[in-house]
Structure 1
Amino acid sequence: MNYLKKTGLILLILFTFLFTGCGQSKNETADENHSQTTTNPASRTEFLMGTVVTVKIYDKNKEDVLDPVFKKIQKLADEITVNDGEAKSEVDKINQNAGISPVEVSEDIFTLITAGKTYSDRANGSFDITIGPLSSLWHIGFPDARKPTQEEINNVLPLIDYRFVELNDDKQTVYLQNKGMEIDLGGIAKGFITDKVRDVLVDHGVTSAIIDLGGNVYVLGKNASGNKWTVGIQDPFSPRGQIIGSIQEANKSIVTSGIYERYLEVNGEIYHHLLNPQDGYPFKNDIAGVSVITDESTDGDALSTLLFSKGVKDGLAYAEKIGVDAIFITHNKDVYLTSKLKNKFKLTNKEFTVKHP
């Protein structure tokens, strides 16, 4: 299964003392909605789309909402997941009809591909939803991962060009104009699904919840103490669960792209999974990880890859230009923050240093 090429690397800190220790003084009262919340959430964890998915609902008596939530996740996964050699999903059908005919798709998939093409355009191709032929070659994160030959890379690079994705709004069809093209939504799909899960929760009256799609985190509302959630930012050089610092957020998505969880080692050289559509190899720059905080997780998912591709200097400038909050961690363990985060981010690991550009 060739699906999620990027793993968000964020630890959500859920210890009770952090619920009560930050963001609100003892004299302040939690808002009215949180009298209906609990510190013992209704929770479900399943392995879906090649990743661990966990949803926790802190509203009382809302456990039944987990059923439509996971039903939505499974439905979208079935429509998006690319199955090697089999046309099971809508994206499979699009890819197998490349250069042949347009394919009518569901509203969700049309919306997702439209968003993916928009971000590909914003990135000038450093993020490109037609990267499928290249990611299939490397297949990093899967048992058959390998370093392709230069000839193989040269053969697929001409197939990667989002501008040849033809979208018909009236007929809700997607057409890849050149035979051999493949859409790969791994750089944006988890964010889109996260947003759809949030919508299901809100539609069912949930006011306090955590969505975690393999590290792609969304914090809905506030916690049971009426405070913002405390979210830890993963140390890119340590196993999952080690953090460099934290931020407090409510009704926000936090997505991280990094070099450290999915990689291939060949003759002592490490090749991470974030591939440059323009030269066919993993991006080489000063970033070890970048975390993006947004209202919509779809935006955060795409932007985390886009910002990673630019390196720290240009990534910071671009994030400031579009007004998005981001945290950049370099190979030298320096941490760079966009301006609005400078008074929000709390560094807790002394091996790292916050730097100012």
Structure 2
Amino acid sequence: MAACNQAKPATKAPELVKTPYQDTQFLMGTVVTLRIYDKGKQPVLEKAFDRIKELADAITVNQKGSQVDAVNAAAGKHAVKVDKDVFDLITYAKSYSEQSNGSFDLAIGPITSLWHIGFADAKKPTQSEIDARLPLVHYQDVTLNAAKRTVYLQKKGMAIDLGGIAKGYITDQVVKVLKKNGVTTAIVDLGGNIYVLGHSPKAKDADWTVGIQDPKQTRGSSLGTIPASNKTIVTSGIYERYLKVDGKIYMHLMNPKTGYPFDNNLMGVSIITKHSVDGDALSTATFDKGLKDGLAFIEKRKDTEAIFITKDKKVYISSGLKKTFKLITGLGYTMGN
């Protein structure tokens, strides 16, 4: 007997709450806030934070028991086997080091630890100290063995630092936890790494309105907005962590080629893409490339947009944002050509 075609039942729309279930915790040196709008999904908050803590413990540099610290301690001696999460993250970081021709370099550890910007012992190192460590910043000397899941740093004194990509990877992992547990509508905020899941609960199929960080102000102050759904917005800028010496501000993002913080006309970069790990690495890489080359680099990438803010308070956007980016007036910013 032939089977008759039956219409599939319509998918029931998720029931949302007006006031989201929310939790805020201080983790990885930053404020982490999760908001869930699906009714009855408050318990998922704890699962998501558990995942953040699990990953942070494995990835953080200078933390006892951290797998990344174990890799660094074995530099020039032997390979170290790591968990799948850590290996995947290091693989991403190595890939982006290659794609950006070293503008992003996962082996930047010897330089970041020297400056230590964002910590109480931060200082401007001497040129001789920088010169001694620069040869160790060489992503090509990070050897990965996928079959054995091991990481080997070829020279003694080398160190990987995943700070430029870890928050992005963890943000993506949190989104996976949310989806796995039936969450359809949420906001994930890992201090500068935003992910908007689903659509805004204010109207059916409406995009969220996401603020673009003003790099001259504290976190949460916007200079413009864009509409977004199921996208991540990652911002890097001088507002985050910096060191001031003799009136000069040194930002925390390090140039792997010079051993100094990036120093060009850029004040902030925001990347809009599907995966936060991509946005994290790209925001660092484009800082190195500067405005013109950074924009050209982004225009070649699929499903990726960017907003560049220069020190003369001009805002430049990639072509895909021309119709959607809205500049907030009254803050002194103007659109660049």
Q: TM-score of the superposition, structure 2-length normalised?
A: 0.94
Asked whether the equivalents of residues 60 and 68 of structure 2 are also in contact (C-alpha less than 8 Å), the reply is yes
Check whether the contact 1:34–1:223 (CA below 8 A) recurs between aligned residues.
Answer: no
Q: Offset of 1:262 from its aligned partner?
A: 1.0
- What percentage of residue pairs aligned between the two structures are identical? 57
Q: 1:215 — aligned with what?
A: 192
Q: Give the total of aligned pairs.
A: 324
2:75, 2:152 within 8 Å by CA — same for their partners in 1?
yes
Q: Structure 1 residue 58: deviation in Å?
A: 0.3
How far did residue 126 of structure 1 move?
A: 1.6
Verify: 1:63 aligned to 2:42, yes or no.
yes
1:155 aligns with 2:132: yes
1:246 maps to: 225
Q: Distance in 2 between matches of 1:137 and 1:60?
A: 48
**Once the 2 structures are TM-superposed, how far is the Cα of residue 241 of structure 1 from its aligned partner?**
3.1
Q: Which has the higher contact order (CA 8 A, sep 6+)?
A: 1
Q: Determine the structure 2 residue equivalent to 1:354.
A: 335
Aligned to 1:308, the other structure's residue is in SS state helix
Q: What corresponds to 2:27 in structure 1?
A: 48
Amino acid at match of 1:190: K
Q: Is 1:164 paired with 2:141?
A: yes
Distance 1:52 1:96 in 2: 29
| Match of residue 101, structure 1, among 78, 84, 87 | 78
SS at match of 2:24: strand
Name the structure 1 match of 2:281: 302
SS at match of 2:53: helix
Answer yes or no: is the 8 Å Cα contact 1:58–1:223 preserved in 2: no
Residue-by-residue CA offset, 1:225-275 (whole Å, 9 max, x unaligned) = 232111111111223332111001000000011112211111111111111
**Whole-Å separation in 2 of the counterparts to 1:104 and 1:242:** 42
Q: Distance in 1 between matches of 2:89 and 2:101?
A: 18
**1:38 and 2:14 are equivalent in the alignment:** no
- Check conservation: 2:192, 2:219, Cα contact below 8 A: no
> Does 2:215 correspond to 1:236?
yes
Aligned equivalent of 2:244: 265
Residues 321 and 42 of structure 1, relative CA distance in 2, 3 Å threshold? same
Q: Secondary structure at the match of 2:44?
A: helix
Letter in 1 for 2:125: P
Question: 1:35, CA displacement in angstroms?
Answer: 4.9
- Could you say what secondary structure the match of 1:63 adopts? coil
Look up the SS of the partner of 2:201 in the other structure. Answer: coil
Alpha-carbon offset, residue 348 of structure 1: 1.1
Alpha-carbon distance between aligned partners in 1 of 2:329 and 2:110, rounded to the nearest angstrom = 40
User: How large is the RMSD of aligned CA atoms in angstroms?
Assistant: 1.3
Distance apart, 1:308 and its partner CA:
1.1
Partner of 1:344: 324
Over residues 256-303 of structure 1, what are the superposed CA-to-partner deviations in whole Å (9 max), with x where a residue is unaligned? 111122111111111111111111111111110010001000000000
Per-residue deviation, 1:182 = 0.4
Q: In structure 2, what residue type is equivalent to 1:262?
A: R
Which residue in the other structure is 1:26 paired with? none
Are positions 1:325 and 2:305 aligned together? yes
Moved >3 Å (runs of 4+): 31-35
Deviations 1:91-123 (A, max 9, x none): 011000011111111111111000000001111
CA distance in 2, matches of 1:89, 1:222: 37
Report the equivalent of 1:91.
Answer: 68
